[in-house]
Amino acid sequence: MSLFDLSGKVAVITGSSRGIGRAIAEAMADQGAKVVISSRKAEACEEAARGINDKHGAGSAVVVPANISSKEALQNLVNETRRQLGRIDILVCNAASNPYYGPMSGISDDQFRKILENNVIANHWLIQMVAPEMIERREGSIIIVSSIGGLKASAVIGAYNISKAADFQLARNLAAEFGPHQVRVNCIAPGLIRTDFARALWENPDTLKAVTRYTPMQRIGEPHEIAGAAVFLAAPASTFMTGQAIVVDGGSTTGAGL
């Protein structure tokens, strides 16, 4: 078996109609997995799935829209995946929210609560829904897309960074709980990536200059440059890796130039 072969596996990827999530879904399909495309908008999901099915054949991607803020919608995502594809081998918690840019002193309670609920609690919900079947089979990979923001301070996305730091700890805790059952939980920590989600950062010339100035590769990343890490964490290549975070940031956290 190839170290990166995902043939016969079923992967659920939240927030996969665009950006990093879509790139991960496409890359996993390239390695033979059947993928579940999920985000809030059904039309966007259908468009993403169409591209995968055109490339790999009908049934390679299925659509189950879900709003991560709804526990009932996430349970439906799990139930529908099992109904249509029979199982879940890989879970990628990629969807997230960040409704506020600015200092912590200005964030409303509702905004802070939404960030924590969607970026941490929703991941907890979904993992708890999926983990039992993985534990029963003694096999499975859970991947949380965190951020280098969880390793750094910020004067404009502080609440988001707090939630992403919590995701690192969520992965560590669950790795300890699930490890005896051979179910793995890891994080990916992207740097600034050219996505719609991060547009407010990379479209700001001052922010872009500040980020790239101290990034050894002197640029921001593209969504497909995160997908390989997800394939690695889902595949046989990483079966002895759990509770860890892979940083994919062009070197920006090395401290180069500071």
**Which of 10, 6, 32 has its CA nearest to residue 86?**
10
Angstrom distances, CA of residue 4 to CA of 12, 29, 56, 109, 228? 17, 12, 17, 43, 10
Angstrom distances, CA of residue 112 to CA of 46, 97, 198? 31, 10, 18
Rounded CA separation 231/187 (Å)? 12
Sort 46 into a burial class: Cβ within 10 Å, 0-12 / 13-18 / 19+: middle
Considering the candidates 100, 101, 160, 214, report the single residue annotated as catalytic: 160
SS3 content of the chain, % helix, strand, coil (to 5): 50, 15, 35
**Is 160 annotated as catalytic?**
yes
Residue 138 carries which DSSP code?
T
Residue 10: strand pairing partners? 34
Rounded CA separation 50/19 (Å)? 16
**Which of 257, 248, 200, 242 has its CA nearest to residue 224?**
248
Catalytic annotation, residues = 160
